[in-house]
Amino acid sequence: MKYPRKLSAGANNTVIVLSEMEVGKLYVGDTRSEIGSEAAKMQYANTINNLVVKFSRLEYNEGIDAEMLVMERIFPIDFRAYEVEIRELWLDVFEDELYQLHQAGFVHRDLKRPSNLGGLAFDNILLTQSGLRLIDVGISALKNQVGEKIFEKYIEVEMNEMKEFRAYFLNR
């Protein structure tokens, strides 16, 4: 389906431009049921720190007949614009903030997309002029919902993906 002002599409959803400041993630068909939980997880992460993109509101887009999660618009830049020393500083901040989220019972779970899905491996991690940000909390999990045991498993996987991201981000 072709949407006006389409910005990008990931593994499941299309994101459209609303303004200079905001974008809308569209929920149509199968993904529709996830919007409320995605909004809640995003809002929770927003209370901890600045790493996850800022939630604005939920809206119904009459024009294209779709539920829409409205959020802060991020303008990603290519990390190869910056020398490795600067990338290392950004990575340190990123790891600290991710760890903070973990401590607060939030795990992102989608840093790296499974290799069988194609697309860019780390397309949910965006670099901006002021450092790394995370988008797409669609499959994120909260400790108080999944329980201690499952949460710890997810953390283990995330730490490994974080390591892989570090290597990717510094070695290109």
Ligand X SMILES: Nc1ncnc2c1ncn2[C@@H]1O[C@H](COP(=O)(O)OP(=O)(O)O)[C@@H](O)[C@H]1O
Q: Given the rule CB under 6 A, which residues bind ligand X?
A: 7-13, 15, 23, 25, 53, 71-74, 123-124, 135-136, 138
CB of 163 to ligand X, least distance (A): 21
Strands of 22-27's sheet in order across: 6-9, 14-17, 22-27, 66-72, 55-61
HSE value, Cβ hemisphere, 13 Å, CA-based, for 76: 16
Query: What's the rounded Cα separation, in Å, for the pair 170 and 159?
Result: 17
Q: Report the amino acid identity of residue 95.
A: E
Q: Which does 53 bind (CB under 5 to 8 A by kind): ligand X, Mg ion, none?
A: ligand X
Q: x/- binding map, residues 99-128, to Mg ion, per CB under 5 A?
A: -------------------------x----
126: its two tokens: 């965006």
CB of 121 to Mg ion, least distance (A): 11
Task: For residue 170, give the nearest of 113, 96, 95, 110 by alpha carbon.
Answer: 95
* 10 lies in the binding site for Mg ion (CB under 5 A): yes
* 136 lies in the binding site for Mg ion (CB under 5 A): yes
Identity of the residue, 139 or 142, whose beta carbon is nearer to ligand X in the bound complex: 139
Identity of the residue, 15 or 91, whose beta carbon is nearer to ligand X in the bound complex: 15
Stretch that binds Mg ion, among 2-10, 62-70, 74-82, 90-98 (CB under 5 A): 2-10
Query: What's the rounded Cα separation, in Å, for the pair 52 and 36?
Result: 17
CB of 107 to ligand X, least distance (A): 16
Task: For residue 162, give the nearest of 130, 121, 128, 131 by alpha carbon.
Answer: 121
Query: What's the rounded Cα separation, in Å, for the pair 119 and 13?
Result: 13
Q: Which does 109 bind (CB under 5 to 8 A by kind): ligand X, Mg ion, none?
A: none
The footprint of Mg ion (CB under 5 A) covers 10, 124, 136
